[in-house]
Amino acid sequence: MKTETDFRRLVGRPSAFVPVMMSLSALMVVVGYVAIYGTARQTDEGAAAHIWQLLVCAQVPVVAFFVVKWLPKAPRAALCVLAMQLVALLIAATPVFILHL
């Protein structure tokens, strides 16, 4: 039970949920871009590509802070949160790689 409590406590921390929200925002940028403009290749990376890149890259310091702060204190719960963050990042990156955007 303590692990579940630790996980619930950690998920509420900004350093845990902010990377997930950033990944979901990056996914919404891609979905919105594809819905409006389609998947045709552009000569230049547009604003949507740069926003996606910024959202993905900006997660690195937040996740690093989370690892440094919480992995030693609650390793099992922290690894579960890290797995959740990784899954969210993979979900955001999947359409970019599948559609070659």
Q: What is the pLDDT along the chain (101 residues), one digit of tens a residue?
A: 465 668 888 999 999 999 999 999 999 999 999 999 888 877 778 889 999 999 999 999 999 999 999 999 989 999 999 999 999 999 999 999 998 87
Question: Which tokens in the block code for residue 85?
Answer: 């963050």
Q: What is the pLDDT of residue 39?
A: 84
Q: Residue ranges of the alpha helices (H) in 1-101?
A: 2-11, 14-37, 47-57, 59-70, 75-98
* pTM (two decimals): 0.89
Q: How far apart are CA 58 and CA 68, in angstroms?
A: 17
